[in-house]
Amino acid sequence: MAIPSPFPVSPPLIFERKDFQKLLEVLNAQGYHVIGPTVRDGAVIYDEVLSDHEFPVGWTDSQSAGAYRLEKSDNKALFAYTASPQSWKRFLHPPALTLWEAHRSNGTFQITAEDTSPRYAFVGVRACELQAIAIQDKVFLYSEFLDPHYKARRENTFIVAVNCGRAGGTCFCASMNTGPKASSGFDLALTEILEDERHYFVVEIGSEAGAEIMRELPHRPAGEGEIEAAERILAQTAASMGRELKTDDLKELLYRSYESPRWDDVARRCLTCGNCTLVCPTCFCTTVEDVTDLTGEQAQRVRKWDSCFTMDFSYIHGGSVRYSTKSRYRQWLTHKLATWIDQFGTSGCVGCGRCITWCPVGIDITEEVQAVRAGGGKTSKKGVKHENV
Protein backbone atom coordinates (compact mmCIF):
# COMPACT_ATOMS: atom_id res chain seq x y z
CA MET A 1 0.00 0.00 0.00
CA ALA A 2 1.33 3.43 -0.86
CA ILE A 3 -0.24 5.53 1.95
CA PRO A 4 1.57 7.51 3.17
CA SER A 5 4.98 7.33 1.49
CA PRO A 6 7.80 7.72 4.03
CA PHE A 7 10.01 5.38 1.97
CA PRO A 8 13.09 7.17 0.70
CA VAL A 9 12.70 7.43 -3.05
CA SER A 10 15.56 5.42 -4.61
CA PRO A 11 18.04 6.74 -7.17
CA PRO A 12 16.38 6.30 -10.58
CA LEU A 13 16.71 2.93 -12.33
CA ILE A 14 16.35 1.87 -15.96
CA PHE A 15 13.83 -0.76 -16.96
CA GLU A 16 13.59 -1.70 -20.65
CA ARG A 17 10.31 -1.69 -22.60
CA LYS A 18 10.97 -5.30 -23.72
CA ASP A 19 10.67 -6.35 -20.04
CA PHE A 20 7.34 -4.60 -19.43
CA GLN A 21 5.36 -7.83 -19.84
CA LYS A 22 7.42 -9.28 -16.98
CA LEU A 23 6.20 -6.50 -14.70
CA LEU A 24 2.60 -7.55 -15.39
CA GLU A 25 3.49 -11.20 -14.82
CA VAL A 26 5.31 -10.53 -11.53
CA LEU A 27 2.35 -8.49 -10.24
CA ASN A 28 -0.01 -11.26 -11.32
CA ALA A 29 2.14 -13.92 -9.66
CA GLN A 30 1.93 -11.93 -6.41
CA GLY A 31 -1.85 -12.23 -6.51
CA TYR A 32 -2.74 -8.78 -7.86
CA HIS A 33 -5.54 -8.14 -10.35
CA VAL A 34 -3.64 -5.92 -12.73
CA ILE A 35 -5.69 -2.96 -13.92
CA GLY A 36 -4.30 -0.85 -16.72
CA PRO A 37 -5.26 1.22 -19.76
CA THR A 38 -6.90 -0.42 -22.76
CA VAL A 39 -9.03 0.75 -25.68
CA ARG A 40 -12.76 0.12 -25.58
CA ASP A 41 -15.77 1.89 -27.14
CA GLY A 42 -13.62 4.58 -28.68
CA ALA A 43 -11.86 5.58 -25.48
CA VAL A 44 -8.97 4.58 -23.23
CA ILE A 45 -10.48 2.96 -20.17
CA TYR A 46 -9.03 1.16 -17.14
CA ASP A 47 -9.70 -2.58 -16.95
CA GLU A 48 -8.04 -5.88 -16.08
CA VAL A 49 -5.02 -6.43 -18.37
CA LEU A 50 -2.98 -9.61 -18.70
CA SER A 51 -0.69 -8.64 -21.57
CA ASP A 52 1.08 -5.52 -22.83
CA HIS A 53 -0.69 -6.15 -26.18
CA GLU A 54 -3.84 -4.86 -24.48
CA PHE A 55 -2.26 -1.44 -23.81
CA PRO A 56 -3.23 1.46 -26.13
CA VAL A 57 -0.08 1.33 -28.27
CA GLY A 58 -0.51 3.43 -31.41
CA TRP A 59 -3.33 5.50 -29.93
CA THR A 60 -3.41 8.99 -28.60
CA ASP A 61 -6.27 11.24 -27.57
CA SER A 62 -7.44 14.70 -28.46
CA GLN A 63 -9.46 16.50 -25.79
CA SER A 64 -11.18 19.87 -25.61
CA ALA A 65 -14.27 21.29 -23.91
CA GLY A 66 -17.09 18.81 -24.58
CA ALA A 67 -14.99 16.68 -26.97
CA TYR A 68 -12.87 13.50 -26.78
CA ARG A 69 -11.42 11.64 -29.75
CA LEU A 70 -9.03 8.71 -29.95
CA GLU A 71 -6.60 9.10 -32.82
CA LYS A 72 -4.22 6.67 -34.49
CA SER A 73 -0.58 7.53 -34.07
CA ASP A 74 2.82 6.14 -35.08
CA ASN A 75 3.91 6.50 -31.47
CA LYS A 76 4.93 3.13 -29.99
CA ALA A 77 4.50 4.38 -26.41
CA LEU A 78 2.33 2.40 -23.97
CA PHE A 79 1.20 5.62 -22.26
CA ALA A 80 0.79 8.23 -25.02
CA TYR A 81 -2.81 9.02 -24.02
CA THR A 82 -3.74 11.58 -21.33
CA ALA A 83 -6.61 11.45 -18.78
CA SER A 84 -9.00 8.55 -19.37
CA PRO A 85 -12.76 9.19 -19.00
CA GLN A 86 -12.58 6.81 -16.06
CA SER A 87 -10.57 7.31 -12.92
CA TRP A 88 -9.27 4.81 -10.38
CA LYS A 89 -12.12 5.74 -8.04
CA ARG A 90 -14.17 3.22 -10.06
CA PHE A 91 -12.16 0.49 -8.28
CA LEU A 92 -11.52 2.02 -4.84
CA HIS A 93 -15.00 3.56 -4.47
CA PRO A 94 -17.16 1.49 -6.89
CA PRO A 95 -20.16 3.06 -8.69
CA ALA A 96 -22.46 0.42 -7.15
CA LEU A 97 -21.65 -1.58 -4.03
CA THR A 98 -23.96 -4.10 -2.36
CA LEU A 99 -23.83 -3.37 1.36
CA TRP A 100 -25.93 -6.36 2.38
CA GLU A 101 -28.34 -8.95 1.00
CA ALA A 102 -31.26 -10.64 2.76
CA HIS A 103 -32.78 -14.01 1.79
CA ARG A 104 -36.05 -15.34 3.26
CA SER A 105 -35.64 -18.82 4.68
CA ASN A 106 -38.06 -20.74 6.95
CA GLY A 107 -40.05 -17.61 7.71
CA THR A 108 -37.03 -15.49 8.71
CA PHE A 109 -34.47 -13.44 6.83
CA GLN A 110 -30.81 -14.41 6.65
CA ILE A 111 -28.67 -11.35 6.17
CA THR A 112 -25.27 -11.56 4.53
CA ALA A 113 -22.85 -8.66 4.16
CA GLU A 114 -19.85 -9.95 2.27
CA ASP A 115 -17.59 -7.47 0.53
CA THR A 116 -14.84 -9.31 -1.27
CA SER A 117 -12.29 -6.71 -2.23
CA PRO A 118 -9.74 -7.81 -4.82
CA ARG A 119 -6.06 -7.08 -4.49
CA TYR A 120 -5.48 -4.51 -7.21
CA ALA A 121 -2.31 -3.37 -8.96
CA PHE A 122 -3.04 -0.13 -10.83
CA VAL A 123 -0.66 0.42 -13.76
CA GLY A 124 -0.59 3.88 -15.31
CA VAL A 125 -1.72 6.16 -12.47
CA ARG A 126 -1.00 9.78 -13.39
CA ALA A 127 0.31 12.37 -10.92
CA CYS A 128 -3.06 14.17 -10.74
CA GLU A 129 -4.74 10.80 -10.09
CA LEU A 130 -2.32 10.05 -7.23
CA GLN A 131 -3.36 13.35 -5.70
CA ALA A 132 -7.04 12.44 -6.26
CA ILE A 133 -6.48 9.14 -4.43
CA ALA A 134 -4.74 11.03 -1.60
CA ILE A 135 -7.79 13.32 -1.40
CA GLN A 136 -10.19 10.37 -1.27
CA ASP A 137 -7.96 8.87 1.45
CA LYS A 138 -8.64 12.00 3.50
CA VAL A 139 -12.38 11.62 2.96
CA PHE A 140 -12.69 7.88 3.51
CA LEU A 141 -9.79 7.01 5.83
CA TYR A 142 -8.77 10.07 7.78
CA SER A 143 -11.97 12.03 8.39
CA GLU A 144 -14.42 11.49 11.22
CA PHE A 145 -15.98 8.41 9.58
CA LEU A 146 -13.91 5.54 8.24
CA ASP A 147 -15.26 3.74 5.18
CA PRO A 148 -14.39 0.02 5.64
CA HIS A 149 -15.10 -0.81 1.98
CA TYR A 150 -12.64 1.82 0.73
CA LYS A 151 -10.09 0.86 3.39
CA ALA A 152 -10.14 -2.82 2.39
CA ARG A 153 -9.53 -1.95 -1.27
CA ARG A 154 -6.99 0.79 -0.65
CA GLU A 155 -4.82 -1.18 1.76
CA ASN A 156 -4.36 -3.94 -0.81
CA THR A 157 -3.58 -1.69 -3.76
CA PHE A 158 -0.19 -1.54 -5.47
CA ILE A 159 0.37 1.59 -7.54
CA VAL A 160 2.54 1.95 -10.63
CA ALA A 161 2.47 5.65 -11.48
CA VAL A 162 3.36 6.98 -14.93
CA ASN A 163 4.65 10.51 -15.36
CA CYS A 164 2.94 12.32 -18.21
CA GLY A 165 4.87 12.55 -21.48
CA ARG A 166 2.35 15.02 -22.90
CA ALA A 167 -0.43 17.23 -21.56
CA GLY A 168 -4.02 16.87 -22.69
CA GLY A 169 -6.04 19.72 -24.14
CA THR A 170 -8.03 20.17 -20.92
CA CYS A 171 -5.27 19.39 -18.37
CA PHE A 172 -4.24 22.02 -15.81
CA CYS A 173 -2.38 19.97 -13.18
CA ALA A 174 0.70 22.22 -13.37
CA SER A 175 -1.25 25.20 -12.04
CA MET A 176 -2.83 23.02 -9.32
CA ASN A 177 0.63 21.79 -8.31
CA THR A 178 -0.48 18.16 -8.71
CA GLY A 179 1.55 17.11 -11.77
CA PRO A 180 2.77 16.22 -14.32
CA LYS A 181 5.39 14.39 -12.16
CA ALA A 182 4.39 11.90 -9.49
CA SER A 183 6.06 12.92 -6.26
CA SER A 184 4.53 10.61 -3.63
CA GLY A 185 1.85 7.99 -3.06
CA PHE A 186 3.22 5.39 -5.49
CA ASP A 187 5.03 2.08 -5.17
CA LEU A 188 6.79 2.54 -8.51
CA ALA A 189 6.83 5.57 -10.81
CA LEU A 190 7.82 5.31 -14.48
CA THR A 191 8.79 7.88 -17.08
CA GLU A 192 8.46 6.39 -20.55
CA ILE A 193 11.19 7.41 -23.00
CA LEU A 194 11.42 6.73 -26.74
CA GLU A 195 14.54 8.09 -28.40
CA ASP A 196 16.19 6.89 -31.60
CA GLU A 197 15.89 3.09 -31.47
CA ARG A 198 15.58 2.96 -27.69
CA HIS A 199 12.38 2.50 -25.65
CA TYR A 200 12.81 2.36 -21.89
CA PHE A 201 11.48 3.58 -18.55
CA VAL A 202 13.19 5.63 -15.86
CA VAL A 203 11.89 4.10 -12.63
CA GLU A 204 11.64 5.51 -9.12
CA ILE A 205 10.82 3.26 -6.18
CA GLY A 206 8.39 4.71 -3.63
CA SER A 207 7.84 1.85 -1.15
CA GLU A 208 9.25 -1.43 0.11
CA ALA A 209 6.55 -3.23 -1.90
CA GLY A 210 7.85 -1.43 -5.00
CA ALA A 211 11.44 -2.41 -4.18
CA GLU A 212 10.33 -6.03 -3.83
CA ILE A 213 8.75 -6.03 -7.30
CA MET A 214 11.82 -4.38 -8.85
CA ARG A 215 14.08 -7.06 -7.35
CA GLU A 216 12.27 -9.54 -9.59
CA LEU A 217 12.77 -7.47 -12.75
CA PRO A 218 15.87 -6.78 -14.84
CA HIS A 219 17.11 -3.25 -14.21
CA ARG A 220 20.22 -1.10 -13.79
CA PRO A 221 21.01 2.34 -12.35
CA ALA A 222 20.01 5.23 -14.61
CA GLY A 223 22.76 7.30 -16.22
CA GLU A 224 22.87 11.08 -16.08
CA GLY A 225 21.74 11.41 -19.72
CA GLU A 226 18.72 9.18 -19.10
CA ILE A 227 17.69 11.15 -16.00
CA GLU A 228 18.04 14.39 -17.97
CA ALA A 229 15.91 12.93 -20.78
CA ALA A 230 13.14 12.18 -18.25
CA GLU A 231 13.38 15.68 -16.77
CA ARG A 232 13.21 17.23 -20.24
CA ILE A 233 10.01 15.34 -21.06
CA LEU A 234 8.36 16.45 -17.83
CA ALA A 235 9.41 20.08 -18.33
CA GLN A 236 7.90 20.01 -21.85
CA THR A 237 4.67 18.51 -20.51
CA ALA A 238 4.41 21.13 -17.76
CA ALA A 239 4.97 23.88 -20.34
CA SER A 240 2.24 22.63 -22.70
CA MET A 241 -0.79 22.41 -20.39
CA GLY A 242 -4.10 22.91 -22.19
CA ARG A 243 -5.49 25.11 -19.42
CA GLU A 244 -4.49 27.09 -16.34
CA LEU A 245 -6.32 27.86 -13.13
CA LYS A 246 -5.11 30.80 -11.10
CA THR A 247 -5.44 29.66 -7.50
CA ASP A 248 -4.24 32.80 -5.62
CA ASP A 249 -6.91 34.00 -3.23
CA LEU A 250 -9.34 31.56 -4.88
CA LYS A 251 -11.12 30.41 -1.72
CA GLU A 252 -11.70 33.98 -0.56
CA LEU A 253 -12.74 35.06 -4.05
CA LEU A 254 -15.42 32.35 -4.21
CA TYR A 255 -16.65 33.12 -0.69
CA ARG A 256 -17.10 36.74 -1.83
CA SER A 257 -18.84 35.70 -5.03
CA TYR A 258 -22.08 33.97 -4.01
CA GLU A 259 -23.98 36.70 -5.84
CA SER A 260 -21.78 36.82 -8.95
CA PRO A 261 -23.88 37.23 -12.13
CA ARG A 262 -21.75 34.46 -13.66
CA TRP A 263 -23.80 31.81 -11.80
CA ASP A 264 -26.89 32.89 -13.78
CA ASP A 265 -24.87 32.77 -16.98
CA VAL A 266 -23.57 29.23 -16.39
CA ALA A 267 -27.04 28.09 -15.26
CA ARG A 268 -28.37 28.95 -18.73
CA ARG A 269 -25.90 26.43 -20.24
CA CYS A 270 -25.70 23.69 -17.58
CA LEU A 271 -27.97 20.66 -18.15
CA THR A 272 -27.56 19.41 -14.53
CA CYS A 273 -26.66 16.03 -16.03
CA GLY A 274 -24.07 15.29 -13.33
CA ASN A 275 -21.39 14.08 -15.82
CA CYS A 276 -18.82 16.39 -14.25
CA THR A 277 -19.26 14.78 -10.82
CA LEU A 278 -19.21 11.22 -12.16
CA VAL A 279 -15.97 11.65 -14.12
CA CYS A 280 -14.31 13.65 -11.35
CA PRO A 281 -11.73 11.50 -9.51
CA THR A 282 -12.39 13.21 -6.17
CA CYS A 283 -16.20 13.50 -6.04
CA PHE A 284 -17.43 10.96 -3.51
CA CYS A 285 -21.16 11.48 -2.87
CA THR A 286 -23.41 8.43 -2.73
CA THR A 287 -27.02 7.44 -2.19
CA VAL A 288 -28.39 4.20 -0.77
CA GLU A 289 -31.15 2.18 -2.42
CA ASP A 290 -33.09 -0.75 -0.99
CA VAL A 291 -34.46 -3.17 -3.57
CA THR A 292 -36.51 -6.38 -3.29
CA ASP A 293 -37.35 -8.96 -5.94
CA LEU A 294 -40.96 -9.49 -7.03
CA THR A 295 -41.39 -12.62 -4.87
CA GLY A 296 -40.32 -10.82 -1.70
CA GLU A 297 -37.74 -13.58 -1.08
CA GLN A 298 -34.65 -11.44 -1.57
CA ALA A 299 -33.69 -7.89 -0.74
CA GLN A 300 -30.52 -5.83 -1.20
CA ARG A 301 -29.15 -2.55 0.05
CA VAL A 302 -26.93 -0.96 -2.61
CA ARG A 303 -24.74 2.11 -2.31
CA LYS A 304 -24.49 4.05 -5.59
CA TRP A 305 -22.65 7.13 -6.77
CA ASP A 306 -24.86 10.18 -6.59
CA SER A 307 -24.37 13.73 -7.78
CA CYS A 308 -25.01 17.12 -6.17
CA PHE A 309 -26.53 18.09 -9.55
CA THR A 310 -29.63 15.91 -9.04
CA MET A 311 -32.81 17.35 -7.49
CA ASP A 312 -33.09 14.42 -5.09
CA PHE A 313 -29.57 14.82 -3.75
CA SER A 314 -30.41 17.62 -1.33
CA TYR A 315 -34.08 16.66 -0.89
CA ILE A 316 -35.35 16.99 2.64
CA HIS A 317 -39.01 17.10 3.73
CA GLY A 318 -40.79 19.75 1.75
CA GLY A 319 -38.36 19.94 -1.17
CA SER A 320 -34.84 20.18 -2.42
CA VAL A 321 -32.42 22.52 -0.67
CA ARG A 322 -30.96 23.50 -4.05
CA TYR A 323 -33.77 23.59 -6.52
CA SER A 324 -32.18 25.82 -9.15
CA THR A 325 -29.41 24.96 -11.62
CA LYS A 326 -27.62 28.09 -10.51
CA SER A 327 -27.43 26.99 -6.87
CA ARG A 328 -26.29 23.49 -7.80
CA TYR A 329 -23.48 24.60 -10.12
CA ARG A 330 -22.37 27.25 -7.60
CA GLN A 331 -22.40 24.67 -4.81
CA TRP A 332 -20.34 22.19 -6.87
CA LEU A 333 -17.66 24.66 -7.97
CA THR A 334 -17.47 26.40 -4.60
CA HIS A 335 -17.19 23.06 -2.80
CA LYS A 336 -14.44 21.83 -5.15
CA LEU A 337 -12.29 24.93 -4.95
CA ALA A 338 -13.12 26.59 -1.62
CA THR A 339 -15.18 24.82 1.07
CA TRP A 340 -13.29 21.57 0.40
CA ILE A 341 -10.17 23.33 1.72
CA ASP A 342 -11.92 24.12 5.03
CA GLN A 343 -13.36 20.61 5.18
CA PHE A 344 -10.35 18.48 4.21
CA GLY A 345 -7.37 20.84 4.16
CA THR A 346 -6.88 20.60 0.39
CA SER A 347 -8.52 21.70 -2.84
CA GLY A 348 -11.03 19.17 -4.20
CA CYS A 349 -9.71 19.70 -7.72
CA VAL A 350 -6.52 18.13 -9.09
CA GLY A 351 -6.65 19.71 -12.55
CA CYS A 352 -7.29 16.51 -14.53
CA GLY A 353 -9.68 18.31 -16.90
CA ARG A 354 -12.23 15.46 -17.08
CA CYS A 355 -15.19 17.67 -16.11
CA ILE A 356 -14.32 19.97 -19.04
CA THR A 357 -13.91 17.20 -21.62
CA TRP A 358 -17.01 15.26 -20.57
CA CYS A 359 -19.41 18.15 -20.06
CA PRO A 360 -21.86 17.75 -22.97
CA VAL A 361 -22.09 21.52 -23.39
CA GLY A 362 -18.39 22.20 -22.81
CA ILE A 363 -18.61 24.12 -19.53
CA ASP A 364 -15.04 24.74 -18.41
CA ILE A 365 -14.28 25.11 -14.68
CA THR A 366 -11.18 27.23 -15.45
CA GLU A 367 -13.18 29.59 -17.67
CA GLU A 368 -15.96 29.91 -15.07
CA VAL A 369 -13.45 30.80 -12.34
CA GLN A 370 -11.81 33.32 -14.64
CA ALA A 371 -15.18 34.94 -15.32
CA VAL A 372 -16.04 35.07 -11.61
CA ARG A 373 -12.60 36.55 -10.98
CA ALA A 374 -13.13 39.16 -13.69
CA GLY A 375 -16.24 40.23 -11.78
CA GLY A 376 -14.00 40.76 -8.76
CA GLY A 377 -16.32 38.88 -6.39
CA LYS A 378 -19.58 40.33 -5.14
CA THR A 379 -20.61 40.39 -1.52
CA SER A 380 -24.07 39.12 -0.78
CA LYS A 381 -26.53 41.74 0.37
CA LYS A 382 -27.02 39.50 3.39
CA GLY A 383 -23.33 39.47 4.30
CA VAL A 384 -21.80 36.00 4.68
CA LYS A 385 -25.10 34.20 4.07
CA HIS A 386 -26.42 33.75 0.56
CA GLU A 387 -29.74 32.84 -0.92
CA ASN A 388 -29.77 29.18 -1.83
CA VAL A 389 -31.87 29.39 -4.95
Of 75, 240, 247, 272, the one binding ligand SF4 (CB under 6 A) is: 272
By CB under 6 A, residue 336 contacts ligand SF4: yes
By CB under 6 A, residue 270 contacts ligand SF4: yes
Give the x/- contact pattern for ligand SF4 in 79-98, rule: CB under 6 A: --------------------
Looking at beta carbons only, is 158 or 309 nearer to ligand SF4? 309
By CB under 6 A, residue 243 contacts ligand SF4: no
Looking at beta carbons only, is 168 or 210 nearer to ligand SF4? 168
Looking at beta carbons only, is 153 or 354 nearer to ligand SF4? 354
By CB under 6 A, residue 327 contacts ligand SF4: no
Give the x/- contact pattern for ligand SF4 in 344-363, rule: CB under 6 A: -----xxxxxxx---xxx-x
| Sole window of 7-15, 94-102, 288-296, 343-351 interacting with ligand SF4 (rule: CB under 6 A) | 343-351
Q: How far is the CB of 313 from ligand SF4 (least distance, A)?
A: 12
Please write down the HEC assignment for all residues of the chain. Answer: CCCCCCCCCCCCEEEEHHHHHHHHHHHHHCCCEEEEEEEECCEEEEEECCCHHHCCCCEEEEEECCEEEEEECCCCCCCCCCCCCCCCHHHHCCCEEEEEEEEEECCEEEEECCCCCCCEEEEEECHHHHHHHHHHHHHHCCCCCCCHHHHHHHHCCEEEEECCCCCCCCCCHHHHCCCCCCCCCCCEEEEEEEECCEEEEEEEECCHHHHHHHHCCCCEECCHHHHHHHHHHHHHHHHCCCCCCCCCCHHHHHHHCCCCCHHHHHHHHCCCCCHHHHHCCCCCCEEEEEEECCCCCEEEEEEEECCCCCHHHHEECCEECCCCHHHHHHHHHHHHHHHHHHHHCCCCCCCCCHHHHCCCCCCCHHHHHHHHHHCCCCCECCECCCCCC
Of 35, 65, 276, 369, the one binding ligand SF4 (CB under 6 A) is: 276
Q: How far is the CB of 354 from ligand SF4 (least distance, A)?
A: 4
By CB under 6 A, residue 127 contacts ligand SF4: no
By CB under 6 A, residue 369 contacts ligand SF4: no
Looking at beta carbons only, is 161 or 352 nearer to ligand SF4? 352
Residue 237's SS3 state is: helix
Give the x/- contact pattern for ligand SF4 in 278-307, rule: CB under 6 A: -xxxx-------------------------
By CB under 6 A, residue 273 contacts ligand SF4: yes
By CB under 6 A, residue 45 contacts ligand SF4: no
Residues at the interface with ligand SF4 (CB under 6 A): 270-276, 279-282, 309, 336, 349-355, 359-361, 363, 365
